[in-house]
Amino acid sequence: MLFRSSEQTIAARLERLPYSGWHITITAILGVAIFFDSFDSLAIAYVLPVLVRDWHIAPHSIGLLISSANFGQALGALTFGWIAERIGRVSTARIAIGIFAVMSLACAATHSYDQLIVCRFLQGIGLGGEIPVASTYISEILRADRRGGRFLTYQIIFPVGLLMSGVIGASVVPRFGWQWMFIIGALPGIVALVMQRFCPESPRWLASQGRLGEADVIMSEIESA
């Protein structure tokens, strides 16, 4: 009963928090991550016309290149959800963001169809892993009465990233080359570093793991902020 009561106390403290600049900062950081998640997901569409011409990619191979990232995303969503339950939300999100940022640079450095398809698959693992973990983290730090509206605002960022992928692709690829779409897509690597400084682990998750002392320390820091 002591453990259940203490876990409930952590949840109650989160529910008592007024919506503040701390919440806005966390949401903004993760919003940048999901923006680039959607940006990187669609970047291949604006790169393909050039690659088909330069690498002489056969029509039947185009679909496989596009779907390779989708296969990776499905695997990432399943795998990283499991990992997040074991090592925490923030650590898992940082790993996922780091993977798709690094693999975006790797995509820019490829010189063949085979290399790109492997890099896109690996990038997809990070892309698919980031969204469910970051979404869970957001829902766990928000009060119940704020969760629906703020979470919807957070999710709206995804189609904005898709839109900007088209806008940037139409401008960047003809002028600077297709590699720059992937170089831009690596920018969320900075987010992974920023998260270490500004995003504490979810107190709800810590409490559910019996790490009540850590949860209490983080809650005290959040309440002070």
pLDDT digits (tens, 9 = 90+) for 69-124: 999 999 999 999 999 999 999 999 999 999 999 999 999 999 999 999 999 999 99
The band of 163, judged by pLDDT with boundaries at 50, 70 and 90, is very high
* Tokens, residue 104: 């975006």
**Which pLDDT score is estimated for 4?**
45
pLDDT in tens, 164-191: 999 999 999 999 999 999 999 999 999 8
Whether the per-residue pLDDT at 31 is higher than 60: the answer is yes
pLDDT at 158: 86
Structure tokens belonging to residue 60: 């039947």
Residue 106: predicted pLDDT: 97
pLDDT at 218 over 50: yes
The predicted pLDDT at position 1 comes to 36
Tokens of 142: 């928000």
Q: What pLDDT score was predicted for residue 3?
A: 40
Mean of pLDDT values over 45-66? 92
- pLDDT value at residue 166: 92
Tokens 């019996």: give the residue.
210
Given a contact cutoff of 8 angstroms between Cβ atoms, the answer to whether 206 and 218 are in contact is yes
Identify the residue with better confidence: 9 or 4: 9
pLDDT top residue among 143 and 137: 137
Position 43 scores a pLDDT of 93
Distance CA 66, CA 120 (A): 8
Q: Is 12 helix (H, G, I), strand (E, B) or coil?
A: helix
Q: Is the pLDDT of residue 18 over 90?
A: no
Comparing 2 with 84, the larger pLDDT belongs to 84
Tokens coding 21:
């600049």
Split at pLDDT 50, 70, 90, the class of 2 is very low
Determine the pLDDT at residue 8.
87
Q: Residue 49: is its pLDDT beyond 60? A: yes
The predicted pLDDT at position 24 comes to: 87
Smallest CA-to-CA distance from 125 within 79, 76, 82, 77 is with 76
Query: What mean pLDDT is reported for the chain?
Result: 90
pLDDT-based confidence at 200, cuts 50/70/90?
Answer: very high
